[in-house]
Amino acid sequence: MHELIIIGGGITGQTAAIYAARKRMDFVLIAKELGGQFLESGDVLNYPGIVKTTGAEFSIIMEEQLKFNGITPIEGEEVRNIKKIDGGFRAHCARRSHDGKTLIIATGARARKIGVPGEDRLARKGVTYCSICDGPLFAGKNIAIIGGGNSALEGVNFTKDIAKKIYLITIEKQFRAHEYLIEGVELLKNVEVIHEATTIEILGEDRVSGLRYEKEGRVQELSVEGIIIEIGRTPNTEFVQGFLELIPQGHIRIDCWTRTSIEGVFAAGDCASGQEYQYVIAAGQGCMALIKASRYLANLKGETAG
């Protein structure tokens, strides 16, 4: 039985693994796919200490740091469920199971897609899913933000002084957002709201050049250089449903110490409650979870010795 099992190969899980290696812990890092959101990101301009990089370059740096610390992740393994066993927990995967005295779950979240032609082909080529992460890439440009909830309106608020013109496209007749966000959007002169509109295609060859939407039976076209899809994210927590307490949105409920509803199980990053979908926050929570898991193990040893 390992001291620790870390589930998730994004920045959260990798940070926890680096700290675990530095503490000389007996642990295993299980990753369905190493890299997490790095694989979806374009330019990264807001991580402290790194002036400018890309998601792909950042992922390479992290992998080098894993190697430097002697960490060999178990890649291509997906944890299907977790069971409590005597003395710890068992993570069941397709090929085998892994036992650990404590767990850190860092499986992240995936962006919800609109599922139209051009979306996947132009991902990271003008199509993005995070206003805060990628809004600065569209300085002085015309952009479209798709969505009608809090995340979409927060995206408008963040990019209002960055983009030249913002088209806010929502399928709803009315916004599903906090009133103060709605009032703020309505006052912005460089924002055009298009209600009851369904995006049907994203246009462009090598880069985004526009989009088509349907409204009241008519297909219309907009010329934009960036499209930010803000219709929410889905946490990768299906495998712990019924095992851990989740909040209504599906994230794992944690306290400020990253503890979950079961003692000895910690969660961090985008899969956990309080998420903000930022690399720096995810990394910090990964560190926090590792420290708390280490202290949990130390307490277990103290109880055993006593």
Contact residues for 47 (Cβ-Cβ < 8 A; gap 6+): 53, 58, 279, 280
Rg, C-alpha atoms of the chain: 21
- Known catalytic membership, residue 130: yes
CA distance linking residue 177 with residue 230, whole number of Å = 12
Which of the following is catalytic: 120, 134, 270, 271? 134
Nearest residue to 243 (alpha-carbon basis) of 228, 213, 264: 264
- Known catalytic membership, residue 271: no
Compute φ and ψ for 288, nearest 5 degrees: -60, -45
- Known catalytic membership, residue 256: no
Which of the following is catalytic: 26, 133, 270, 287? 133
Query: Which pair of tokens denotes residue 104?
Result: 């850190």
Query: Which pair of tokens denotes residue 60?
Result: 């390479």
Alpha carbon distances (Å) from 189 to 140, 146, 184, 221: 15, 18, 11, 21
Residue 67 is inside which H or E element, if any?
helix 55-68
Which of the following is catalytic: 99, 130, 161, 271? 130
Query: Which pair of tokens denotes residue 234?
Result: 């889905």
Residues serving a catalytic function are 130, 133-134
